[in-house]
Homo-oligomer: A and B are copies of this chain.
Amino acid sequence: MMNDEQYMMEAIKEAKKAESIDEVPIGCIIVKNNQIIARSYNQREIRQQSTAHAEILAIEQACQATGSWRLDNCILYVTLEPCPMCAGAILQSRIQRVVYGASDPKGGCLGSCINLYEVAGFNHYPMIEKGILSEICSSLLSDFFKKKRKNKKKKEML
């Protein structure tokens, strides 16, 4: 049995896969009965799909793995606070608990811009745990964007 930090390390491994193909490094895994049933990473650019966020791809994989759109008793681990689309997909799939690493002031919907799960009227409310290995998760992102800016400057100087 692994704990939240150990599962988040698995999500971080996924984020690194994104980084290796020049995608914004965000990774996600889904756990059911202490088993990882889905793992994915952000693939928006490579697929040119606005929905190809780590969480959406992992949720789709988990639905396929379980044969059901209801991901009851599942926990989703993601390195960055979910955007409205992904926070909504977590809610739609009845995931029990979301654990995220870094907060996202530019779009995060589980506490930063808004906490979507505090809005009344939905038929499901996942639990939220935040800040798990947040420093590793946010360094991955800041290093990625730093490198991007550096490369851009280099190109401009040529």
Which A residues are closer than 8 A to B by beta carbons? 44-45, 47-53, 56, 59-60, 63-64, 67-71, 83-89, 91-94, 105-107, 109, 112-114, 116, 119-123
This chain: copies in complex = 2
Chosen A-B contacts, 15 in total, with CB atoms closer than 8 Å, are: A47-B69, A48-B63, A48-B67, A49-B60, A49-B63, A50-B71, A51-B63, A52-B69, A84-B84, A87-B88, A88-B88, A107-B121, A109-B119, A114-B114, A114-B119
Partner of A60, one of B51, B86, B89: B51
Distance (Å) between the CB of A10 and the closest chain B CB?
Answer: 22
* Residue from A47, A49, A87, A91 having most chain B Cβ neighbours under 10 A: A49
- Give the residue name and chain of the B residue nearest to A71 (CB): B50
User: Residue of B at shortest CB range from A56?
Assistant: B51
A57's closest neighbor in chain B, by CB? B51
Once the chains are docked, how many angstroms separate the CA of A84 from the CA of B39? 23
- Taken together as a complex, chains A and B put the C-alpha atoms of A36 and B105 apart, in Å, by 35
* A127 vs B116: C-alpha distance when bound (angstroms): 20
